[in-house]
A and B are shown apart, each in its own frame.
Chain A
Amino acid sequence: EAQVTQNPRYLITVTGKKLTVTCSQNMNHEYMSWYRQDPGLGLRQIYYSMNVEVTDKGDVPEGYKVSRKEKRNFPLILESPSPNQTSLYFCASSLGLAVTDTQYFGPGTRLTVL
């Protein structure tokens, strides 16, 4: 089954404790992206990746890092989380950026930073 998986689904942590949210897709997609979803602000793009070893900043990259060492994985790294990073995070992937390329979303990761 074609899917995007994220782990963990729920995470409560404390300020400054490094964490990683994993994202994996099984569709051999080149394009992957991370979004955060906050009330009243909709979905905002954090980082995206066009292919292995190719990443770029989205709208709200501050405080986040990503890596794309393999095509299927695109982890989101918070080196020193802060309470303003409490949010709902979505990973997504698509074959490319063509109009006909459907984007698939992961189930979301609820992060709380105390």
Chain B
Amino acid sequence: AQTVTQSQPEMSVQEAETVTLSCTYDTSENNYYLFWYKQPPSRQMILVIRQEAYKQQNATENRFSVNFQKAAKSFSLKISDSQLGDTAMYFCAFMSRMNRDDKIIFGKGTRLHILP
């Protein structure tokens, strides 16, 4: 069974600093997606970034980028020039594409505080 592990329950950084959230996963499959979701206190789930496993290039969305290490099964999120609005819960998630099963598996989340 696939698992997703976020080893940092909580982190705090100063505004404008760069922060990296770690995520590791376990799967025997070769075809899958990885996601980072941001969840503000409103409990919406906002898709931050998505990575397809067959793509070597790391995904980037403005200040957000990932370091995808497929062999190590690692998928960390880097937030550059952090802003107060980045304060939220961040979930790493895995989705298999095998056997048409689109179930998404979430990590337990990392609570990120951006300090003024």
Contacts and interface: CB of A to CB of B under 8 A. Distances in A.
A and B are partners in one complex rather than unrelated chains = yes
Given A88-B104, A103-B109, A43 B43 contact: no
Contacts, number: 47
Interface in B79-116: 89, 101-104, 106, 108-109, 111
B16 interface: no
B103 A44 contact: no
Interface residues of A, number: 26
Q: Majority SS of interface residues in chain A? A: strand
Contact of B45 (A44, A88, A94, A97): A44
Nearest to A37: B104
A42 B47 contact: yes
23 contacts: A37-B102, A37-B104, A39-B102, A41-B47, A42-B35, A42-B37, A42-B45, A42-B46, A42-B47, A45-B44, A45-B45, A58-B44, A88-B102, A88-B104, A97-B42, A99-B41, A100-B111, A102-B109, A103-B39, A103-B43, A103-B109, A107-B103, A110-B101
